[in-house]
A and B are shown apart, each in its own frame.
Chain A
Amino acid sequence: MITNAARLDRIDHAKRLVQKIFLVILMGLSIVAALITVFPFIWSAILATHDRSTIFGAGIPLFIGDHLGENYAKLMEMLPFWQAMANSFFIAAMGTSVSLIFCSLGGYAFGVYNFKGKNALFSFMLATMMIPPVVGLIPFYLIVKMLGLLDTLTSVWLPFTATPFGIFLVRQYVVSSIPKELLEAAKLDGAGELRTYWSVVLPLLKPSLATLGIVQFVFFWNNFLTPLIALNSREKYVVTLALRSIQNNPNAPWGAVMLGTTIAILPLLVFYMFASKKIIAGLTSGAVKS
């Protein structure tokens, strides 16, 4: 005769087994999803070591080839590659830095001050996030032309420094994480508006600014459409535009293109490795009570 305790034990054991199986399936699915995500990057790195004939030959080359040096030489010959990398880095750095200033000021204002039309203005700003970026390309071109910024690096970073997403992100962080009393204490301590922002608010916004900084850096680094429209001179090319420009050749050297792509990914990869925790922390901050 089975006692009650033994029956409960068996139910417990079965429950644990089902849980374990579920976990294994979940883990398997996650691994497959991760492989699908990572595969294009690894494959482009592998293709960077092959020449055109192996790439377009029979079968997919999944082994490391021996044309790396040759591809590098071709890349350098066809493009001012490092110049393009430097341009990309410049616009990403400038765009990100200025974004942080503008968005933190905008987000702080929306989070703290009360002014007429604040809600309407905030809603209008959020609504602009719903418009596909492509729709704004022609107005972007006309404005940049009117300002005399065509074919300058400024044209591809300055117009994107006050972003609705950035202002929204900072505003949410200000509302959830900066107590009103802290600002009042600063006011009583004699700090003016700018001093309060600079000495009290800005240091506390660090987590949200880190997130915004990463998002903006990636955006500027990957940006392709606006440089395509605004930049003409080869020496002004950013890396996305430079790599695209050699793909138009009838005999495009895909090995060199893949090498350029792989090199272009590296700065972001390094950035991510150091900052992934910050991104997650910044995006979820304020979601849970600490």
Chain B
Amino acid sequence: MARVKLEAINKFYGKSHIVKDFNLDIADGEFIVFLGPSGCGKSTTLRMIAGLEDITSGSVFIGDRLVNNVEAADRNLAMVFQSYALYPHMTVYENISFALRIAGLAKAEIDEKVRRVAAMLELSEFLNRKPSQLSGGQRQRVAMGRAMVRNPELFLFDEPLSNLDTKLRAQMREELKSIHQQLKTTTIYVTHDQIEAMTLADRIVIMRNGVIEQVGTPTDVFLHPVNTFVAGFIGSPAMNFFEATVGEQAGQYFVEKGPIRIPVPRKLWPKVSPGKVVTAGIRPSDIGVGAKGQDQRGFLPSKVLATEIHGAEVLVKAQAGESAFNFHVPLTQRPELGRTLDCSFELDALHLFDKQNGQSLANTL
């Protein structure tokens, strides 16, 4: 296990600036997830930590050791690739034991380690099979076994579950979580799947265009997004946004747009002034139907445009004035198209962002 420290990491490919001034301190035994859309630089950062990619500038520390000029093989880390990268001509046993054989360990020791890891990953009965004779989930486990058997200081995962179907992915997520809880090895995991990030991470690093947008626990990034990008990226369906103008009446602030008029939570009053244009955001999960007349709630009189059944819940696509909103209702309460619903939400669930730079007003308090 090891602490990992990334200081002012930059990566250029020719003139393209791929990773920009990346700073991060990862605690010993922590499970960190790099999350972001394709091309945001998360895999490049991971590969720089692995030693598979040169660092243009900055420093990578694993433990107390500066590893910028240390060969990948000598960094004492293991990586699981998206395509698993299993050696197709070797059996499961040979795949798992490859690194140990290179390290020159005694046969008996190799055998003991391979069988222990195989038992842990329920691969014991497949040790003599070639990767082509295994299912996707089994191959994934072999790739993990190959990483685990070396007992590295650091695990790196590069979108390891993206080739699996939804059901298997959920199962492998659980297995990964339980393995991490057993081994407590520092882990850096790259994904573009927010469910993977939310379920696995101790902390999530959300990236865009090579820049860290926010670092925080899953709860943190969901409840307190620092800007519109994070707010829109985390959560499914995405947060509802609309532009609104701040108004004042009888010493109380509110944001309004057309028929929408929502009181601004008191904690945000220092950050608003009458006439200021802001981006307001409400998560679909925070919107409910009814509760009209109650205090401390925002109201969205919404006309139902479309509905989508998502199992036990129905996604309602509605419109309030000129603004479109999505929210969920139970399947049994699927509304008719064209009907107007009295939607409301807790005022604390209202997010306000600066329209110019997209930063959360709550964050700049």
What is the count of residue pairs linking A and B with beta-carbon distances less than 8 angstroms? 53
Chain A residues near B81 (CB, 8 Å)?
A: 181, 184-185
The reply to whether B88 and A189 form a contact with Cβ atoms under 8 Å apart is no
Q: Is B99 an interface residue when CB atoms closer than 8 A count as contact?
A: yes
The reply to whether B50 and A188 form a contact with Cβ atoms under 8 Å apart is yes
The reply to whether B73 and A191 form a contact with Cβ atoms under 8 Å apart is yes
In angstroms, Cα B84 to Cα A184, docked, is 11
Q: Is A182 an interface residue when CB atoms closer than 8 A count as contact?
A: yes
The reply to whether B85 and A190 form a contact with Cβ atoms under 8 Å apart is no
In angstroms, Cα B102 to Cα A187, docked, is 11
Q: Is A200 an interface residue when CB atoms closer than 8 A count as contact?
A: yes
In angstroms, Cα B103 to Cα A200, docked, is 16
The reply to whether B73 and A182 form a contact with Cβ atoms under 8 Å apart is no
Q: Is A203 an interface residue when CB atoms closer than 8 A count as contact?
A: yes
**Residues on B close to A: CB < 8 A?**
50-52, 72-73, 77-79, 81-83, 85-89, 98-99, 102-103, 146, 150
The reply to whether A204 and B73 form a contact with Cβ atoms under 8 Å apart is no
Q: Is A195 an interface residue when CB atoms closer than 8 A count as contact?
A: yes
- Chain B residue at minimal CB-CB distance from A181: B85
Chain A residues near B85 (CB, 8 Å)?
A: 179, 181-182, 184-185
Chain A residues near B102 (CB, 8 Å)?
A: 189-191, 195
- Ranked 8 nearest A-B pairs via Cβ: A189-B99, A185-B85, A181-B85, A190-B73, A203-B89, A190-B102, A181-B81, A182-B85
Chain B residues near A204 (CB, 8 Å)?
A: 88-89
20 contacts between A and B (CB under 8 A): A179-B85, A181-B81, A181-B85, A182-B85, A182-B87, A184-B52, A184-B81, A187-B52, A188-B50, A188-B51, A188-B72, A188-B73, A188-B78, A189-B98, A189-B150, A190-B73, A191-B73, A191-B102, A199-B98, A203-B89
In angstroms, Cα B51 to Cα A200, docked, is 20
Q: How many Å from the CB of A128 to the closest CB on chain B?
A: 32
Given contacts A184-B52, A195-B102, A204-B88, contact A189 B83 (CB under 8 A): no
- Chain A residue at minimal CB-CB distance from B83: A181
The reply to whether B89 and A187 form a contact with Cβ atoms under 8 Å apart is no
In angstroms, Cα B88 to Cα A102, docked, is 24
When each residue 183-207 of chain A gets 1 if its CB lies under 8 Å from chain B and 0 otherwise, what string results? 0111111110001000110011000
The reply to whether B88 and A188 form a contact with Cβ atoms under 8 Å apart is no
Q: Tell me the A148-193 residues at the B interface (CB within 8 Å).
A: 179, 181-182, 184-191
Given contacts A188-B73, A204-B88, contact A179 B52 (CB under 8 A): no
Chain A residues near B89 (CB, 8 Å)?
A: 203-204
Interface residue tally on A, bucketed by range:
10 to 19
The reply to whether B72 and A200 form a contact with Cβ atoms under 8 Å apart is no
In angstroms, Cα B152 to Cα A190, docked, is 12
Chain B residues near A191 (CB, 8 Å)?
A: 73, 98, 102
Starting from the known contacts A181-B85, A190-B99, 9 additional A-B residue pairs (CB-CB under 8 Å) come to A179-B85, A182-B87, A184-B52, A185-B81, A186-B87, A188-B77, A188-B78, A191-B98, A203-B89
Chain A residues near B73 (CB, 8 Å)?
A: 187-191
In angstroms, Cα B103 to Cα A113, docked, is 25
In angstroms, Cα B83 to Cα A184, docked, is 12
The reply to whether B87 and A188 form a contact with Cβ atoms under 8 Å apart is no
Q: How many Å from the CB of A113 to the closest CB on chain B?
A: 15
- Chain A residue at minimal CB-CB distance from B147: A188
In angstroms, Cα B87 to Cα A204, docked, is 9
In angstroms, Cα B50 to Cα A204, docked, is 25
Chain A residues near B82 (CB, 8 Å)?
A: 181
Chain A residues near B72 (CB, 8 Å)?
A: 184, 187-188
- Chain B residue at minimal CB-CB distance from A184: B52
Chain B residues near A181 (CB, 8 Å)?
A: 81-83, 85
Q: How many Å from the CB of A204 to the closest CB on chain B?
A: 6
Instruction: Find the residue from B79, B81, B85 having the highest chain A CB count within 10 A.
Output: B85
Chain A residues near B86 (CB, 8 Å)?
A: 185
Chain A residues near B78 (CB, 8 Å)?
A: 188
Chain A residues near B88 (CB, 8 Å)?
A: 204
Chain B residues near A190 (CB, 8 Å)?
A: 73, 99, 102-103
Q: How many Å from the CB of B72 to the closest CB on chain A?
A: 5
In angstroms, Cα B150 to Cα A191, docked, is 14
Q: How many Å from the CB of A149 to the closest CB on chain B?
A: 38
In angstroms, Cα B86 to Cα A185, docked, is 8
Chain B residues near A179 (CB, 8 Å)?
A: 83, 85
In angstroms, Cα B72 to Cα A195, docked, is 15
- Chain B residue at minimal CB-CB distance from A183: B85
Q: How many Å from the CB of A200 to the closest CB on chain B?
A: 6
B79's contact among A182, A185, A203, by CB below 8 Å, is which? A185
Q: How many Å from the CB of A219 to the closest CB on chain B?
A: 28
Q: Tell me the A191-229 residues at the B interface (CB within 8 Å).
A: 191, 195, 199-200, 203-204
